Amino acid sequence: MKRSLPLVMLLALSLAPPVRAATEADYKTAYAAAEAASREAAGLRHQWTTTVSTLAAARKAADGGDFDRAFAAAKEAEALAKASIFQATSEKEAWKAMEIR
Amino acid sequence: MKRRATILLGSAFVALAALAFASPRVVAADKIDPVADARAFENFFFQKFPNVKHEDFVNGPYSMNGDMKRQWQEKEEFPPYEFALDAGKEMFSTPFKNGKSYADCFPNGGIGIRQNYPYFDEKEGKVVTLELALNRCREANGEAPYSYVKDEMASLTAYMAFTSRGKPMDIKIPDDPRALAAFDNGKRYFYTRRGQMNFSCASCHVQSPGERIRAEILAPALGILNAMPIYRSEWSGMGTTSRRFITCNSQTRAVPLEPQADEYRDVEYFLSYVANGLPISGPGARP
């Protein structure tokens, strides 16, 4: 049993898909999604400064040819934008909980 | 069986009674009632800080901390906003190129009227702030508008506030559904969480006045605009109400709105109305 565990792990690792670097196409897809979410947040007037700066970081990394970093930043920007959209939506009613009555 | 039926009937009666009592509250909560809102707002702060004199709330953090108050009182002998005040007075009395001046744009020649701003303009259907009125005055007389956040605008409003010092804030809400909607929109903006920090204006200025946020002591929301514009040591200069809102947004990591956006005008309307009766203390100085 003790011997078989490393063997199983080795097998699992060998079957796992190889980690590949992000391509420009990956970045462009991720950036488009992030930009769309960011536009929606801005339309709701709930844009976060961190979404804007992370999108800018993604563009900068892509301009430098670092698509791994650009892809990761675009994904992060999308997550931030989606969180701000959630905030805008939930606060439509949630603000009342804080009101002085 | 009979006992079960009695229990069920009893429970239904209790539920119905609870609903009957709860319903008017829901209706009341949704009705826009600025008078009730202002009373509740004041009472909240008066009860939270029973030792603070009511008129002292307009002094922001200094009303919350004795040591800071003493330092500020000494600083008031040579206040850091004095240069802006002098500049504002000169600018105010200097005619435009067409020979007219700011005095021609305002009631009472613009002197001692700060406590009436912002007001609801029934023609426009929107809130008009003092900063907005000043720039509209400039544009109507062929002059370029000033930046809403500092320098000239801060100097002009500093002088106008100074001529109103001690006068009680006196904001009117006309019997117009649009004015009530603007007040309500301002209230909503004030309590709505925004930015990555998930803060609302109320998170700092209702829940935590008197507490420290980093090195600063938070000001109470009650009367917070009565001291505007302010010289802030942090800014190394003067700032307007617009600048204060924009900075607050940035500090919570929210992208600020454009100066004099409807939301900012409305939140200024709300905060000024709930401070009715408290004296104008501007221009102010803050750490």
Of A50, A95, A100, the CB nearest to B188: A95
Mean pLDDT of B86-111: 98
The 3-state secondary structure of chain A reads: CCCHHHHHHHHHHHHCCCCCCCCHHHHHHHHHHHHHHHHHHHHCCCCEHHHHHHHHHHHHHHHCCCHHHHHHHHHHHHHHHHHHHHHHHHHHHHHHHHCCC
pLDDT of A1 over the 80 cut: no
Q: Is B137 a catalytic residue?
A: no
Mean pLDDT of B211-216: 90
Please state, in angstroms and rounded to a whole number, the distance separating the CA atoms of residues A39 and A30: 14
Domain B33-287 indexed as CATH 3.40.1800.10: no
Minimum distance, in Å, between the CA of residue B122 and any CA atom of chain A: 26
Please state, in angstroms and rounded to a whole number, the distance separating the CA atoms of residues A90 and A82: 12
pLDDT of A12 over the 70 cut: no
Q: With bands split at pLDDT 50, 70 and 90, how would you rate the model's confidence at B19?
A: very low
- Its ipTM equals 0.85
- A91 to B206: CB separation less than 8 angstroms, yes or no: no
* Start-to-end CA span in chain A (Å): 66
Mean pLDDT of B159-178: 98
Minimum distance, in Å, between the CA of residue A69 and any CA atom of chain B: 22
Strand order in the sheet with B284-286: B237-239, B230-232, B284-286
- A47 to B187: CB separation less than 8 angstroms, yes or no: no
Instruction: Using CA coordinates, name the residue in chain A closest to B274.
Output: A100
Of the listed ranges B188-197, B207-216, B218-227, the one predicted with least confidence: B207-216
B117 in contact with A at a CB cutoff of 8 Å? Answer: no
Q: With bands split at pLDDT 50, 70 and 90, how would you rate the model's confidence at B31?
A: confident
Minimum distance, in Å, between the CA of residue A30 and any CA atom of chain B: 21
Of B193, B202, B263, the CB nearest to A87: B193
Can you tell me whether residue B110 is helix, strand or coil? helix
CB distance B190 to B199 below 8 Å: no
CB distance A27 to A73 below 8 Å: no
**Amino acid making up residue A13:** L
Q: With bands split at pLDDT 50, 70 and 90, how would you rate the model's confidence at B32?
A: very high
Q: Considering Cα of B48, then B51, then B56, then B62, what sign does the dihedral take?
A: negative
- DSSP for B45-102 reads HHHH-TTS-GGGGGGGGGGT-HHHHHHHHHHTTS-TTHHHHHHHHHHHHS--TTS--G
* Token representation of residue B141: 């007389």
Mean pLDDT of B36-49: 97
pLDDT of B4 over the 60 cut: no
* Domains of chain B by residue range: 33-287
Give the tens place of pLDDT for each residue, B74-95: 999 999 999 999 999 999 999 9
* Domains of chain A by residue range: 17-94
Tokens 């992370």 belong to: A54
Please state, in angstroms and rounded to a whole number, the distance separating the CA atoms of residues B192 and B277: 26
Q: What is the pTM of this model?
A: 0.88
pLDDT of A98 over the 50 cut: yes
Give the tens place of pLDDT for each residue, A44-63: 999 999 999 999 999 999 99
- A98 to B253: CB separation less than 8 angstroms, yes or no: no
Q: Regarding predicted confidence, which is higher, B189 or A11?
A: B189
- Which of B39, B249, B253, B270 to probe by mutation at the A interface, max A CB count within 10 Å? B253
Tokens 């802030």 belong to: B232
Please state, in angstroms and rounded to a whole number, the distance separating the CA atoms of residues B47 and B24: 26
